[in-house]
Chain A
Amino acid sequence: MNPEHVVVLYLYAALFVVFGISVYGIVIKPHIVKKLIALSILGDTANTLIILLGYRTLPKPWPPVFPELEPSLELIEEFTKLSVDPLPQVLVITAIVINMAVTALLAFLAIQVYRLYGTLDFRKVLKLRGW
């Protein structure tokens, strides 16, 4: 096993631990803001995982941006051989901004819940609703 592969395995393990913690936070924690924090951690874990999938286990991979504005044929070939996969990064760029917008929307809803019921504990909210 190459040292790069070992690092990748550790990264996978760390990401799955964080994933488990965030799922725990979403399901078990009764406070709505804590659920929101766990949800944003879950989104970031997913994004990191997607970027990790597009990495290349080369000693020195390139970022997917051409270093020159007038490339030669050799440079294009070298770029194709050395650069990391651009597709996961494209997916993540949009996912981050959409994630931020959705988090903001949920924060607004949480504020509205507090305004109407005076609490952010969803068990108390359910009791106040009479469930």
Chain B
Amino acid sequence: MKGVKILFIPLMGLVVILIMLILSYGTLGYSPAEYIRSLGEFLLRQSFNVFEKEWWVGSPEVITATLWDYRGLDTVYETTVFYLAVIGCVSVFRLLQPKLAEITKEKEEYALTVIVRVATKIVLAVIILISINIALHGHITPGGGFQAGSAFAIAPLLAIAAFSRYFVEKMGLKINLSHALRSLGLIIIALVALLPLFYFGYLLQNQAKPWSPFPGYPIEVSFLELSGSLFHFDIGEYLNVAMGFLAIFLLLSLPERVFKKDMEVVKSES
């Protein structure tokens, strides 16, 4: 083991220096510079260019515009990666008797002080409201589905730490609900992406193009700025990410004795 370690450290140093050299050779010369690459300039100029609508997205937030329009297919696949990662977590932590999970419905004997409980309740409401705000505003101000979902993920974590897993389930945030809403989010994204195909447009099309018969999603409905399909994508992504993290935290907070009981039953059967 010692010899391996002595071999490893210079090897690792070599790898780090090589990667450093490659990165420095390719980037340090001109980046970050005063001028950005032409692709970045194209995105900045076209995404909210109201005078020349051939390439525009209709969103003043260039990042969300790039995320869901110019690079839309990439983001859809990354959403799928997230969905599958949560499925992996669930399959590792599955119980052979799902009824065992109800053991956690016990009385909270050791509650924290009133100050902690009241403050946590206030902060919880604020976190959830702000995350919804970030999600619905993602196409106008900095934010979007990914960010809002990550912001929401703090809420169940805080509630589990300050109260218990049972408190989160009593709030209505159960694991089956989280799976249902997560799938609903993915379905919303899929439907919004596929709808232009029925109008003989192309996949993930957002705005009207001269070469496509699809009229484009609406930019604004009366006083609401919708920025085409970005608003719908953000809602779907918010549901997917927020409920995915809720499922992860609910599973992680299952007490160890539940799994021990589950394993005992398996052993006695075999």
Chains A and B belong together in one complex: yes
Q: Which of A45-97 contact B (CB under 8 A)?
A: 49, 52-58, 63-66, 68-71, 73, 76, 79-80, 83-87, 89-90, 93-94, 96-97
Report chain B residues within 8 Å CB of A12.
24, 28
Q: Which of A75-131 contact B (CB under 8 A)?
A: 76, 79-80, 83-87, 89-90, 93-94, 96-98, 100-102, 104-105, 107-109, 111-112, 115, 123
B16 to A, closest residue via Cβ: A20
Find out whether the CB atom of B12 lies under 8 angstroms from the CB atom of A27.
yes
Report chain A residues within 8 Å CB of B1.
123
Report how far A100 CA is from B45 CA in the complex, Å: 32
B1-42: CB near A (< 8 Å → 1, else 0) gives: 100010011001101100110011001100111111101110
Report how far A79 CA is from B241 CA in the complex, Å: 31
- Tell me whether chain A's interface is mostly helix, strand or loop, or mixed: helix
Find out whether the CB atom of B48 lies under 8 angstroms from the CB atom of A86.
no
Q: Does B156 contact A (CB under 8 A)?
A: no
Find out whether the CB atom of A112 lies under 8 angstroms from the CB atom of B149.
no
Report how far A71 CA is from B161 CA in the complex, Å: 47
Interface residue tally of chain A, by bracket? 35 or more
Q: Does A14 contact B (CB under 8 A)?
A: no
13 residue pairs A–B, Cβ–Cβ below 8 Å: A53-B27, A53-B32, A54-B36, A56-B36, A68-B60, A73-B51, A76-B48, A83-B44, A87-B43, A87-B66, A90-B66, A108-B93, A111-B252
Binding site for A on B (CB under 8 A): 1, 5, 8-9, 12-13, 15-16, 19-20, 23-24, 27-28, 31-37, 39-41, 43-45, 48-51, 60-63, 66-67, 71, 74-75, 78, 81-82, 85-86, 88-89, 92-93, 140-142, 144, 146-147, 149-150, 153, 225, 241, 244-245, 248, 251-252, 256, 259, 263
Binding site for B on A (CB under 8 A): 8-9, 12, 16, 19-20, 23-24, 27-28, 49, 52-58, 63-66, 68-71, 73, 76, 79-80, 83-87, 89-90, 93-94, 96-98, 100-102, 104-105, 107-109, 111-112, 115, 123
Which 5 A-B pairs rank lowest in CB-CB distance, beginning with the nearest?
A: A66-B60, A85-B40, A101-B85, A55-B32, A85-B36
